[in-house]
Amino acid sequence: MDGVAVRAVATKRVWAAALSAAWLLGLVASLASVVRYKTSPGAEGPTPARWPEASTLPHSPGRNTLVLFLHPECPSSRASLAEFNWLMNDALVRETTDGVVVFAELIQPPDPHAPFSSWARAAEVPNTVRRLDVDGAEAARFGALTGGHAALYDGDGALRYSGGLTNSRGHQGDNVGRRSVLAVVTGSGRAAPHRPVYGCALHDPTDATEEPP
């Protein structure tokens, strides 16, 4: 190989090395943007400290009621519903707590037979009822603006926990919110009264905080 060819190869490799370095930075930036997106919480309204009288949702006196608001189409709803299901499958929780999953009403109702349908999955959760939130009235009563918002009221109607059941957007697995609900119900362990909510905006499409780009 003559000198010109050697220099050409060397130049090409310098460019390739520079490109690789830039690529590495881009890779880190992409991962960072994912983390940022996943850990950005949704909006919340004030959750009433007492069970709203005007609510039409079932609440049995003497029993805890865990209400979960979901957007029926949002992919993050699957993670929140999965955590809700995990809690409701706990024997102690099921013994003392009733579940209510409230789906936001959409103009175009989702296909209940579609794969991964949250509406269909919610029907399989023990000790739980499904409700369609017409015009978002219940969400407004409970101050729920983002899908995945859960509120736990005890048998006296007092709010014991408000917030998400996942630690980030669409992320299943052990998290503080789930543990807090469990701690409240079982009376053991540390319980945080509030955690951020991760999910899709339930009603207001113009809210910029719902879905960052």
Query: Contact, 102 vs 139, CB < 8 A?
Result: yes
Sign of CA dihedral 144, 179, 182, 128: positive
Q: How far is the CB of 123 from another protein (least distance, A)?
A: 21
What's phi and psi for 133, nearest 5 deg?
A: -90, 90
Give the number of residues in contact with another protein, rule: CB under 8 A: 50
The structure tokens 């992409």 sit at 30
Q: How far is CA 70 from the centre of its chain?
A: 8
CB of 157 to another protein, least distance (A): 29
Q: If residue 101 lies in a helix (H) or strand (E), which one and from where to where?
A: strand 97-104
Give every CB contact of residue 109 below 8 A, 6+ residues apart in sequence. 72
Nearer residue to another protein within complex by CB, 94 or 211? 211
| Residue with smaller CB distance to another protein, 135 or 156 | 135
Q: Write the binding mask 162 to 181 for another protein: x where contact by CB under 8 A, - elsewhere.
A: -----xx-xxxxxxx-----
Q: How far is CA 52 from CA 74, 130, 139, in A?
A: 26, 18, 11
Site for another protein in 15-54 (CB under 8 A): 16-17, 19-20, 23-24, 26-27, 30-31, 33-35, 37-39
Task: Select from 32, 34, 41 the least CA-distant residue to 207.
Answer: 41
Name residues contacting another protein, limited to 109-168 (CB under 8 A). Answer: 115-116, 147, 167-168
Tell me which stretch binds another protein (CB under 8 A): 51-59, 61-69, 153-161, 200-208: 200-208
Of 19 and 49, CB closest to another protein: 19
Give the residues lining the site for another protein (CB under 8 A).
Answer: 13, 16-17, 19-20, 23-24, 26-27, 30-31, 33-35, 37-39, 71, 73-75, 79, 104, 106-108, 115-116, 147, 167-168, 170-176, 200-207, 210-213
